[in-house]
Structures are given as C-alpha cells and as structure tokens.
Amino acid sequence: MSFEEAEVIRRRAESFLRNAARLIEEGEYDLGMFSLEQYCQLILKYKLLVKKGSYPRTHSLRRLIRELGEFNPGILDLVNKVGNLHYIARLEEAYIASRYLPIVYEEGEVKDMLRFVLEVFKPVAEAV
C-alpha cells in the first residue's frame, strides 16, 4: 500500500475521533462509542501499515495492539494492564454492540471512554 493510501486511513481515523467527540456532545452516545472504536481500530491499522506494510483483516483491538508490540513493547500496556484492558475490551464490544445489539450506552460511560482514548490510548498509539 502506498504512503498516500496509508494517509487516507490516518485521516479517516482522526475524523472518527473528532466525530466521536461531536456525537457525544450532542448526546448520541451509541454512535459516539462506535466512532471511538473506529478511531482506535483505524489508527492501529495505520501504524501497522507504516511499520510492516500490511495489517491483519481483524476488528480485534487486542490483536492489533499485540502485533504492534513487536515494534514498540510500550503499547502492550494497553492489554497487559488490567485497567486498560477493561477499556480496550469495552471498545471491542462496542464494534458489535453499537451496530447490532439493543445496548444503550450512557453518558458517563461514553465520556469516560472518550477520556481514556484521548489521555491513555492516543498518546501510547502515537508513540509507536
């Protein structure tokens, strides 16, 4: 994949993050949670694309994080620290739940997830 194609994925990821913040502000918590997961998934795939030229066809954040751990072991804190793993697991669940299941996300949990993504996930992912 070319550099330009990789940049499309990066820009799309950042758009999902901005969209998540906007949706959460508007009270659209289910779609906000989905957009947070999409940001995380795409930014991990972008990093793998840049580092190794490809990424696995998976929606599993845990698998993507573990593959990136080959290049920067620091990212493994997202799955090795139990507190972080709970957030990652909730994001993985959101991929399916917000699209197909009658699960309703509440304001507090989605705002806390946004905080986690901005303050923990994003800085760790950017360091790869």
Q: What is the pLDDT of residues 39-82, one digit of tens each?
A: 999 999 999 999 999 999 999 999 999 999 999 999 999 999 99
Residue whose token pair is 């993504």: 117
Domain count, the chain: 1
User: What is the arithmetic mean of pLDDT over 94-112?
Assistant: 90
- Integer CA distances (angstroms), 38 to 70, 82, 113, in order: 22, 22, 13
Query: Which domain, by its residues, includes 91?
Result: 3-126
What is the average pLDDT score of the chain?
A: 95
Specify the CATH number for the domain of residue 27.
1.20.120.330
Residue-wise pLDDT for 2-16, tens only, equals 778 899 999 999 999
User: 113: part of which helix (H) or strand (E)?
Assistant: helix 107-116
Quote the pLDDT of residue 1. 64
